[in-house]
Amino acid sequence: MKDLSMFRSFPHAPFNKFFCKIDRKNRLVHLRTNCLSLLFSLVFLDAPPASAFTAENADTMMDAYNKAFYEQTGSGAHYKETQTKGVSYFWSQAEEIEGMLDAYERTWTPDYKNKVVKLLRGFIETNGEHWNNNKFNDDCMWACIAFSRAYLDTGISSFKLTAKSNFDMVYSRGWDDTLGGGLWWTTEDTGKNACVNGPGSIAAYLLYLSTGDSAYLTKATEMYDWEKAHLFNPSNGQVYDSINPKGNLNTWSSTYNQGTFVGAANYLGHTQDATLATDFTMNKMGDASSGQYRILPAYGIKKNNDGNDGTFSSDGNNSGFNSIGLRWIAKFMKDNSLENSYLKWLQANANAAWNSRRSTDNLSWCNWPQPTPVEHIFHSWDCASSVVALQVVPPDQTESSDPSAPAEQPAFTNQPAVTNQILPTDQAAPTNSDTK
């Protein structure tokens, strides 16, 4: 790859202004400079013209992602680790399946439903039905969320049973009275983290919806109350990362922990807490230099060799954090009709994701609003946040709904806080599945 690091540090307008100051008296050089900048944009950056995304663009982004990473395997399927090889790891695979669920819930198209089913079957083929060999309790909770959502969307009872048995296993080994309650992050009991208690509360609530068993509502409430008491700053809405057995806090915050706290608060009717956490994410996290609204921070991507050779690498674990934050914050906004407060900010991020894509394959990485490098081979998790952004954030131009969509949507997408739940009935399976 060519060394583009110097050029990438300048947005196009300041780039032109900088060179025009040098040769202000020489119109020919001025013209050549503008042409050079245009050629640079078209050939090297491969960035399409900026525009506000549409529902059709959301389809394009999802379909491009599936073309690059979705791989069918017998009766199942999986997302590859990279564009060229492998299988995405346990927790990122579960989250990528959630991205496919986001697309299905946006469109209710049979193709997307079929892919959801195949991906979950593939997940079981790869990881088994019982996940007690995975020491990361948060990994298991992410997968429980995916399976529970899929049950609520499809009525396939085996998905509910998989979510229930593995949630019960994690809760049994992970919850104790140390530090007043809460789930341990791993079986090594090194800390109690937001990345397991937030998703754990959500997973428990979804099981309450799936089973009607109020014991899961109690567990959802207990995990949320513990996280709020120990890892939430009520003065500003910040969600802290973790607390160790000695009671020492790690006060680092991230968009995925902010998002799951918002998601759990929303389900349990704690609107004020969810608002505080969302406001912190919107007003304190990310880059405000590119426009009126902050663009969420990039995770997991770094420049190689101090950025001098124009290449990048990914840790393969953190780069999809924003997908989780956006999913739950967008749901909170829509459930509570808070578009006036949050929609423009969410759209600014989704537009940044869309406009960062490369035109060769419509893949968009997680380092918004920088253009996606042309020649880089990406992890699937590197591109997941862009896909999810366009699935969960309403576009600037709202199009008419799909006439083939069901009259009553499944339970995940539009639920009251606690009461008056309508639980779906089981249907026969179709013939066609953190920082570590």
Q: Are 89 and 319 in contact (CB under 8 A)?
A: no
Q: Any idea where the domains of the chain sit in the sequence?
A: 1-45, 54-392
**Tens place of pLDDT for every residue, the chain, 436 residues?**
333 332 232 233 332 332 233 333 333 333 333 443 433 344 335 556 678 999 999 999 999 999 999 999 988 999 999 999 999 999 999 999 999 999 999 999 999 999 999 999 999 999 999 999 999 999 999 999 999 999 999 999 999 999 999 999 999 999 999 999 999 999 999 999 999 999 999 999 999 999 999 999 999 999 999 999 999 999 999 999 999 999 999 999 999 999 999 999 999 999 999 999 999 999 999 988 777 899 999 998 877 766 555 567 777 689 999 999 999 999 999 999 999 999 999 999 999 999 999 999 999 999 998 999 998 899 999 999 999 999 999 998 654 334 344 434 444 543 333 332 323 333 333 333 344 5
Domain 54-392 has CATH 1.50.10.20: yes
Query: Phi, psi (5° rounding) for residue 176?
Result: -150, -175
Q: Which residue is listed with tokens 């060229």?
A: 84
Q: Which of 7, 13, 83, 18 is nearest to 44 (CA)?
A: 7
